[in-house]
Structure 1
Amino acid sequence: MTSRTALTTLGLGTVAALAVAGTAPALAQATAADSDKATVSVLHAVPGLTVDVYANGQELVPDFKPGALTDPQQLDAGSYDIKVFEDGEGPDGTPAVEKKIDVPAGADATVVAHLSEDGTPELNAFVNDTSAVDAGKARLTVRHVAAAPAVDVRAGGSPVFEDLANPKQATAEVAAGTVEADVVLAGTDTVALGPADLDLAEGTSTVVYAWGSAGDDNLALKTQAISDLHSSPAGVPAGESGAAADGTNSASGWLAAGGALSFGALAWGLRRGRAGAQR
């Protein structure tokens, strides 16, 4: 796959994200503090591509790098003219992709541009569960968005989620506290990522993304934290957990890029061909 093709795919994923997040299944589950707003985060999980994103002529995310997760923001429902340029080519150049989209009210989602299991860049929108968490509990969600086979996710050496395939997610409420988690090939003890300590505080939701490419040895984990779920079912995602910001805030304050949290990819034991996105 050429760099341009991969960039266009990523661009389409980014600009279509809010429309996808507003589909019927998402809206059926999503909540927002303001019915006239939409809450959206975007994760860039395609290795090897850096882009600049513009909306209504204003640069929102300069130098949007792989592994960056934007801060969640509530946007006014309405129409946005989105343009995505190869890094440094905007705003007077020709955009790689341009699209006017409608941002639906009430949506609360994280949109992920990532690789499919076979290494093709694609887009998926995941609804963030912001319902209340029982006392003494925390919510743990794992999202498989890596070019890699199905996996099991373990906590303290015991499987919590089994046979999780790209681009699926799994969620459970667990006892609050610190757990040691790792990712193994489905049905085996072959560690692919981790172990890593996850601090699952009471009344919070921790979302863990497995992203990157097994074939290119760049698998990584990314975490997203959602807080205040014990007291506010309509809480807004609070941002990232344990990741230092490495992006630049937008001029409008809409998006801010965050850094990747990588625990270093270990051998999967199953090599894939080179992923579609060029380095």
Structure 2
Amino acid sequence: MSVSETDGYAPVTVHNAGKPCQTFYKIVGDLSSGKIPLIVLNGGPGSTYTYVFSIKDIATLTDLPVVFYDQIGGGKSTHLPEKNGDVDFWTVQIFVDEFHSLLRHLNIKEYNVLGHSWGAVLGMEIAIRQPAGLRKLVLSSGPVSMELWVQVTRKLLETLPADLQQIIRENEEAKTYNSPEYNAAMQEFTKRFVCRLDPLPEEVTAAFKEMEADPTPYVTMQGPSEFTITGNLKDWSVIDDLHKINVPVLVTNGAHDEAQDPVVAPLFQHVPRVRWYTFANSAHMAHWEEREKYMQVVGDFLTQ
């Protein structure tokens, strides 16, 4: 069954951006069908919807429309490299505001949300504010606090061969994050804990390259790497607010995920209505690594 795809741009007001901004979106399916759409939030911050575009399978599987979009600073949406390092500009709130601005533009009143990695962080931030239209929430491989994230990823680093650990340690101390040796060591981390498919899906590789071309949101909010958090998310935690999430939640991660169980477990402990599924053969990207199973688990949750 073929499903229609529609592209567009929505104007978005970004406080202190200094120029007009717009959000690129792609709709898979029919928003006028009367069925509650799924809004997908990609990771990064600063990546692009293309690496989560496999989730379009949900539209075919469930007949629910699926909306993807590039968050501000990434993909085909407005880039703001002049704001690199501006921690007062790059806040969680501008992404929350952009999300609701897009919903208003598309006249979406009721919706489900799926967030992956940073997108799950954004999804939690949206949900704790208890918006009236939110019906269900899927949180895939996203941490509830950066302190937990650093603890877990540092432990994963210790499982790499000793020579790679030393390369990473020396380059982090020297802040030479662009050295070929450091990048080679990071590729091994990626193979083990981000996506275990070989070769990587083209969509994933393309998203990595896009972030390399303009890493503004990522380096400002997170830092130079997955486990060196120097940006303004360094002290971020949502643990104390998880009880405010008032919709059913599906938490997912992979057995080999950089988002290991300790970084998602507080969701299971503190969210009132929650279920948790771990994909046995996946790292951080079950939507590619176990694509069919992922869509089945998410689709069942959304349609029950």
Return the structure number with greater strand share: 1
Return the structure number with greater helix share: 2
Normalising by structure 1, report the TM-score.
0.24
Normalising by structure 2, report the TM-score.
0.23
Between the two structures, name the one with larger relative contact order (CA 8 Å, sep ≥ 6).
1
